[in-house]
């Protein structure tokens, strides 16, 4: 009896020491924060002067969320949410950064910019077997004047590692079409110019301890001047590797939308989450929300700036949205999902939206 009790005590101590050892093995590069989308709402519809949502870890490994919003001529308030997951795992290494792509040209024409980037990486991110990139947020910022969007698409390729230069090399792609036919638009100015920042998170891993898959998701609908579309959450089921990896997380590989023509923006939502992970079957059950609203019922009566909202219009239209997801399976660690919400006020008058008044930064609590 005493012998069995002693064995039990030694076993508990051994497991405790092993758990402590596993925690001690975690390095700063084993922690990352993944962007899972955003929600945006103005009290009435506008041209886009600035719009952005992204997350990152600061120098002290604290997760931070940033949201940017600025309308055109009319002043308004913004209500927003950032969606994210914080991950710690000895199986994964995280490297974050940002790239900037400028799109400049004529309105109503497709402006497609693909740029190659080379980034020197630290020792701990070199010579890994696999690299997977995901978008950790974005920011659209007008360089000259605000336009109504027609198309926006963003994508980051998976990187290749160069042993000679110790760099990861990848490309970023932006497709943009904009136009301005509002009463306040300049009649003889048919140019559009935006700076688009893509925040990226690159995950390095060994296939014995982790694996990543991509899945495409699309959604389309139409609306009239008297009936706005209903928000619909899509339920998806993805097949991944069964009975091998204990955990799973989800991120955004690319996203975008195409409208029938230029439309004012009032609300936009891109959100993705895992509802259930069936390890033995290798099944991921996920929820996806893709939503673009050009107008909402009662927007003039409920507008923050009622006098300016008098000129807000309704237009019929349709939208085709895409959100391509990246699912990472891994063996050990922990995942915490979270949401951070807030609000901003912008005075309008086509003011330059590069300053801090058009954005808010806060630590992410979970």
| Angle, CA 300 vertex, CA 294 and CA 303 arms, to 5° | 95
The span from the first CA to the last CA of the chain, in angstroms, equals 46
Identify which of 216, 240, 195 has the alpha carbon closest to the alpha carbon of residue 354: 195
Using the structure block, give the residue that is written with the tokens 């490994």.
61
Helix (H) or strand (E) holding 142: strand 130-142
Is 339 part of a structural domain of the chain? yes
Give the model's pLDDT for residue 357.
Answer: 86
With bands split at pLDDT 50, 70 and 90, how would you rate the model's confidence at 355?
Answer: confident
Is 10 part of a structural domain of the chain? no
Tokens of 38: 């955003």
Domain that includes residue 307, residue range:
30-363
Is 149 part of a structural domain of the chain? yes
In the predicted structure, residue 2 carries a pLDDT above the cut 60: no
Domains of the chain: total: 1
| From 75-89, 133-147, 182-196, 342-356, the region with the lowest mean pLDDT | 182-196
Residue 331 pairs in a beta bridge with none
With bands split at pLDDT 50, 70 and 90, how would you rate the model's confidence at 346?
Answer: very high
Is residue 234 within 8 A of residue 289, CB to CB? The reply is: yes
Q: What is the mean pLDDT of residues 206-228?
A: 96
DSSP secondary structure string for all residues of 184-246: TS-TT--EEEEEEEEEEEEEEE-TTTEEEEEE--EEEEEE-SS-PPPP-EEEEEEE---SS-S
Q: 63-78, pLDDT tens digit by residue? A: 999 999 999 889 999 9
Structure letter (DSSP) for residue 147 = B
Q: 242-272, pLDDT tens digit by residue? A: 999 999 999 999 999 999 999 999 999 999 9
Give the model's pLDDT for residue 12.
Answer: 42
Is 19 part of a structural domain of the chain? no
Give the model's pLDDT for residue 354.
Answer: 87
Q: Which carries the bigger pLDDT value, residue 14 or residue 304?
A: 304
Q: What is the mean pLDDT of residues 3-22?
A: 44
In the predicted structure, residue 3 carries a pLDDT above the cut 70: no
Identify which of 354, 47, 43 has the alpha carbon closest to the alpha carbon of residue 186: 47
Q: 119-150, pLDDT tens digit by residue? A: 999 999 999 999 999 999 999 999 988 999 99
Is 166 part of a structural domain of the chain? yes
With bands split at pLDDT 50, 70 and 90, how would you rate the model's confidence at 311?
Answer: confident
In the predicted structure, residue 25 carries a pLDDT above the cut 90: no
If one counts every other C-beta atom within 10 angstroms of the C-beta of residue 127, the result is 10
Give the model's pLDDT for residue 189.
Answer: 79
CA distance 16 to 11: 9
Give the model's pLDDT for residue 131.
Answer: 98
Is 24 part of a structural domain of the chain? no
Is 8 part of a structural domain of the chain? no
Tokens of 95: 């490297």
In the predicted structure, residue 317 carries a pLDDT above the cut 50: yes
With bands split at pLDDT 50, 70 and 90, how would you rate the model's confidence at 17?
Answer: very low
Q: What is the reported pTM? A: 0.92
Q: What is the mean pLDDT of residues 189-205?
A: 95
Residues 6+ apart with CB under 8 A from 186: 145, 180
Is 21 part of a structural domain of the chain? no
Give the model's pLDDT for residue 5.
Answer: 46
Give the model's pLDDT for residue 20.
Answer: 39
How does the average pLDDT of the chain come out, rounded? Answer: 92
Tokens of 179: 């136009």
């Amino acid at each position: 009896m005493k012998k069995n009790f002693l064995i039990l005590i030694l076993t508990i101590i051994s497991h405790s020491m092993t758990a402590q050892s596993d925690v001690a093995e975690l390095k700063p590069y084993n922690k990352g924060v993944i962007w899972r989308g955003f929600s945006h709402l103005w009290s009435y519809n506008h041209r886009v002067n600035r719009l952005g949502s992204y997350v990152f870890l600061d120098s002290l490994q604290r997760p931070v969320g940033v949201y940017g919003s600025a309308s055109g001529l009319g002043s308004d308030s913004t209500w927003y949410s950032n969606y994210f997951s914080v991950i710690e795992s000895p199986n994964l290494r995280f490297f974050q950064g940002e790239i900037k792509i400028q799109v400049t040209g004529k309105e109503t024409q497709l402006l497609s910019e693909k740029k190659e980037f080379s980034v020197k990486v630290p020792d701990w991110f070199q010579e890994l077997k696999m690299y997977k990139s995901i978008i950790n947020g974005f920011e659209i910022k007008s360089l000259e004047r605000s336009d109504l969007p027609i198309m926006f698409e963003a994508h980051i390729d998976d990187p290749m590692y160069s042993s000679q230069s110790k760099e990861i090399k990848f490309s970023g792609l932006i497709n943009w079409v904009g136009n301005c036919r509002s009463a306040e638009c300049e009649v003889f100015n048919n140019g559009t110019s935006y700076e688009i920042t893509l925040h990226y998170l690159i995950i390095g891993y060994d296939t014995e301890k982790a694996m990543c898959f991509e899945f495409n998701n699309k959604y389309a609908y139409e609306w009239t001047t008297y009936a706005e579309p209903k928000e619909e959450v899509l339920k998806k089921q993805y097949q991944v590797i069964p009975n091998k990896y204990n955990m799973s997380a989800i991120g955004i590989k690319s996203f975008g939308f195409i409208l029938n023509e230029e439309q004012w923006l009032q609300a936009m939502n891109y959100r993705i989450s895992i509802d259930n992970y069936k390890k033995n079957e290798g099944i991921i059950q996920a929820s996806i929300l893709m939503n673009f609203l050009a107008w909402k019922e009662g927007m003039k009566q409920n507008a923050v700036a009622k006098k300016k909202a008098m000129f807000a219009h309704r237009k019929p239209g349709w939208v085709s949205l895409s959100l391509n997801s990246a699912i990472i399976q891994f063996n050990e660690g922990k995942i915490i999902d979270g949401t951070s919400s807030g609000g901003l006020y912008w005075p309008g008058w086509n003011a330059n939206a590069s300053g801090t008044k058009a954005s808010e930064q806060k630590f992410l609590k979970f």
